[in-house]
Structures are given as structure tokens and as C-alpha cells.
Copies of this chain bind each other. A is one copy, B any other.
Amino acid sequence: MNVARLARRPVKVTQSFTKQSIRCRSSRAASTCPMPSQKAGPSFPCVEAHAARESRILASSSKSTFAPRPQPTAPPNSGPEPPYARPSPSSYKVYHHSEPLALVYAPSLPEFDIAYETWGELTPARDNVILLHTGLSASSHAASSELNPSEGWWEKFIGPGRALDTNQFFIICTNVLGGCYGSTGPSSIDPLTGQPYATRFPVLSMFDMVRAQFCLLDHLGIESLYASVGSSMGAMQSLAAAWLYPERVGKVVSISGTARSSPSAIAMRYAQRSVLMADPNWNNGFYYDGLPPHTGMKLARQIATITYRSGPEWDLRFGRKLRAVPTSDSVAYSDPSGRKLPRTPALCPDFLIETYLDYQGEQFCLKYDANSLIYISKAMDLFDMTASSLSSLYLTPPPPRNSLPPLPPSVSSHPRSPSHAAYHSHLSHSKHHPPPANPPPHLSELAEGLSPLSNTPTLILGVQSDILFPVEQQREVADALRMAGNQMVSYYELGGVWGHDTFLLDVQNVGGAIRGFLS
């Protein structure tokens, strides 16, 4: 959802409320809604912020012009933050697919759009294509381009001489099916009703998203990919692409992903969906002609942010430091007897770590569509490449790969021999984790599920401080691939304190590993 677009739409309110009652409904400030029991009570700026945001949305809507909302102030020492660019419709290309797309969990989507951007030049043989998959909430705008010169979310990883080298590769990044940055998702108009799908949108699978991407590749006349590259949710898609189309994917890069979402990760995403769906504005997903669930989105993003970073980073970056308070508040207090009192702590954000979460939530809450967040995070939860799970989806199994597949063009000079594998292994400087001698049943099941990737050179990269996709899950994927007979698994394990967000920040190590693997 685009805030500017939202602001220009007339805001309808539900029949039960006047505008005044809506303002009161979401306002928790005594000054706007008289509360008989609260005489000159304390005020809570962090709670009033929700009502103030709502007032800004209503005001900008009623003026039919987009008044830029005040940006929240970044906490001091705000440290490295990944950019998330919000694209305008003119800044990306759109492929319209007018045929139905069969889905995993539902009969089909009658038609769909895929928004995408590209960097570099396609060779005449169309053999230098990298499909870059996004994380949950990122758009197709991975890097600046002529169409959109603003910084992308992987700006420093894409360009001449960079990890994804535009001198060599033609890079395509799409906004996923289910998203809200130009591709068809819950906020799109259902051609059958003329209304937004909202929660009538079918539940999506990661495999649906990848199939939609390959419809785009078909349209572009691209038969095979040099590589499928992704981080976080993008890593799931990267693996799914090679599973669905083993003959069309030359190499796989999976960074901070998993082949099987864990109960812990599901729990964290469930907590986010819960707070979002409990926002009265969510209205069972039917909010497109009213106010969006901006408070729920802020709360959900706060929870998500906790999973994106690591405790050690926060220890270093924030420690137990408090926000700066106005000078008048910072003087020492004393009680009537003259005893000194410390500064009074606030129940609203007071520690810098709290102001950081507040800031991240506020920055995000109107940038992304709530239903897209729900559908895509659910698709992540559902992702499971163990054999039994895959077979329960009734997906057409990929053809058996008795013979070695054709090599990606640029590595065709390296025969797939033990020496080739050794060469790869040397290049990657990977830690070796030979598959366990007595693997647990789920690992054998995962190896069986991943068997279509048994001949696909694969880079698995994980980060030791990642609490969302912990490094054990990276090892699990690497082990399962090796158990499936894949002798071209490069496994990297990075240190550092950035947790899951490392893939957005550590250009040197993440970028270097990718560049080495793709070369």
C-alpha cells in the first residue's frame, strides 16, 4: 500500500461510527475522549501517537493531498540500518499474466501482475540471468537504476564489480506475489468482484510465488537462470526455484534462510500477525476503504525488529542507555525532606532500545500493506521441504535427474568431477560440516525432499548471531544437501553481531562469499 495513494482515496467509515467516534475509539488520551474516572491523569505520548497518526491519515485524506507526515526522530547512535525504498508505480516494470495461475492451496488465481526491476544487460544468448528474491517486506527495488535513482535495499551488493556484478550478469528482482509493491496481492482488485481481494485472497505458498516469477521469465524468453539468489524469505524462494525447475536453475544462493520453518520462527511471526489482526482497523482484512491497521502494523514491526537483530549488537549499541530528556526534566529531584531522587522513569519508551523499536515500528507502519504481511509471513511458516511435506502439497514432482544436468554456461569449462567439487570447496573457504553419520529422521526426510537439488551448486550462508534463522538451520540445509548427494555445497558461517540483518549490512563478507561462489 502506498501512503500517497491511500491519502488520496476518500476514507469511508463503517456505519457504526462517526468520524468523531472513530477518533475517540482509537485515541487513548484523556484530552480527546473524556474519561470520567481520569482527572488530570498521566499522559502517554507513545499511546497518543496512535491517535495522532490516525488524525494525520484522516486529515491528509480529507484534503485529498498528501501531506508528508512528520518523520519520527531516529534514536541517537542509531547505527547501521538497512534502507527499505518505497517505489512509485513509474519506477518498476510490470508483467501482466492474463491466464490463471494454479496455486498450491487453492484452485487458481485468475490473473496476476508481477512488478520487477532489472540491472545489467541480457546477453544475446540470455544465459547470464540472476533471479534475486526479496525478503518479506522488501520491494523489487534492490538497487538504484535509471528508472528509480533512490537507494535500494541491496544497493551495495549490485553494480559493476559488486557481489552481483552488472558487468557480467543481468539481474532481475521481482516484488513477490502477495506483496503490495506492484505485484498482485490482497490489496489488488479481484477481477471477479471489482473490489480488493482483502482476505478473500487465497493462502499462498512459497512455490506459488516462485511459479509466478517463472511466468515472468517465460515472458522474457529466459529459459534458464545462471543463479537463483536470495536471503531470508528470499533464500526459501531460491531453494524452491531450484526444486521446481532443477533444469532451469544453474546455481543457488541461500543466505540466512531455511528449508523448513521452525516452531520458534512461526511463533515470532504468529505474535506479529496476532497483534495486527487484533487491531480493530484490520476489520477482518477489509480496511481498504477505511483506515488501515496502522497501530497493529507498528506493534507487529516492533516484534519483528527484535528478531532481526541480536542481543550482542544491542549490548554494544544501546546497552542500558536512556533517551536524552529535556533539560528541565533532567535535574535531580528531591522529596519534601530533601532526599535526592533519580530521574523518574517513563512507562513509554525510555531506554534507547525502546526508542529504537518505537522508531522502527513508526517508520514501517504505513509503508506496507497489513494483509500482505499476514499472507507472506504465513507462506514463510508453511515452507517445508521435507519429502513428506512436499508430497502432501500434491506438487508435480520434478523429473528424476539420472543424468547430470546441463551446466550453467559460464561454468561449463569446469567439468562436474570431484576436482570441480574440490575447486568449489577451495573457493568458498567454507567450514566443513560433513553430514552426520546417524542423521535424525527429519534430516533424512529433508535430504529426500531436497534431492532435486543434488546436482545444483549451492551456497549456504548463515550468521551465528541470527535468532530468526539460526545457524543450526543453515547447517541442516547444507547437511541435507550433502546427504542428497550434492558435492557442490559451499557452506559459510559468519560471526558478527548484526544477527539476521547481516545479509543487508555486511557487504564485505556476505558480498564476498556470493561473488566468490558466482565467479
- CB distance A42 to B200 under 8 Å? yes
Chain B minimum-CB-distance residue to A16? B24
A108-B335, A378-B347 are known contacts. Are A16 and B12 too (CB-CB below 8 A)?
no
- CB distance A268 to B306 under 8 Å? yes
A44-B277, A263-B314, A311-B263 are known contacts. Are A282 and B28 too (CB-CB below 8 A)?
yes
A271-B357, A347-B378 are known contacts. Are A35 and B21 too (CB-CB below 8 A)?
no
In the complex, which residues of chain B have a beta carbon less than 8 angstroms from the beta carbon of A345?
105, 203, 378, 382
- CB distance A41 to B285 under 8 Å? yes
A42 CB contact (under 8 Å) in B273, B284, B381 = B284
In the complex, which residues of chain B have a beta carbon less than 8 angstroms from the beta carbon of A394?
339-342
- CB distance A38 to B284 under 8 Å? yes
A198 proximal to B (CB < 8 A): yes
Q: Which of A213-221, A246-254, A295-303, A508-516 interfaces with chain B?
A: A295-303
Nearest-CB distance from A178 to chain B (Å)?
13
A47 CB contact (under 8 Å) in B17, B268, B284, B339 = B284
A267 CB contact (under 8 Å) in B107, B262, B288, B357 = B357
In the complex, which residues of chain B have a beta carbon less than 8 angstroms from the beta carbon of A195?
37
A353 CB contact (under 8 Å) in B15, B267, B303 = B267
Return the CB mask of A33-46 against B: 1 if under 8 Å, else 0: 11111100111101
Q: Give A486 to B31 CA distance when docked, in angstroms.
A: 54
A222 proximal to B (CB < 8 A): no
A135 proximal to B (CB < 8 A): no
- CB distance A283 to B38 under 8 Å? yes
A319 proximal to B (CB < 8 A): yes
- CB distance A21 to B28 under 8 Å? no
- Best-surrounded residue of A26, A108, A345, A378 (most CB of chain B within 10 A): A345
Return the CB mask of A358-388 against B: 1 if under 8 Å, else 0: 1000000000000000110010011010000
In the complex, which residues of chain B have a beta carbon less than 8 angstroms from the beta carbon of A106?
335, 341, 344
Instruction: Tell me which residues from 463 to 497 in chain A have a Cβ below 8 Å from any Cβ of chain B.
Output: 467, 470
A30 proximal to B (CB < 8 A): yes
Q: Give A187 to B36 CA distance when docked, in angstroms.
A: 17
- CB distance A21 to B17 under 8 Å? yes
Q: Give A267 to B75 CA distance when docked, in angstroms.
A: 15
- CB distance A25 to B284 under 8 Å? no
Q: Return 9 A-B CB contacts under 8 Å, by A number.
A: A36-B289, A41-B200, A42-B284, A47-B277, A263-B320, A266-B354, A271-B299, A303-B303, A320-B389
Those 3 A-B pairs whose CB atoms lie nearest each other, nearest first: A107-B335, A263-B314, A264-B311
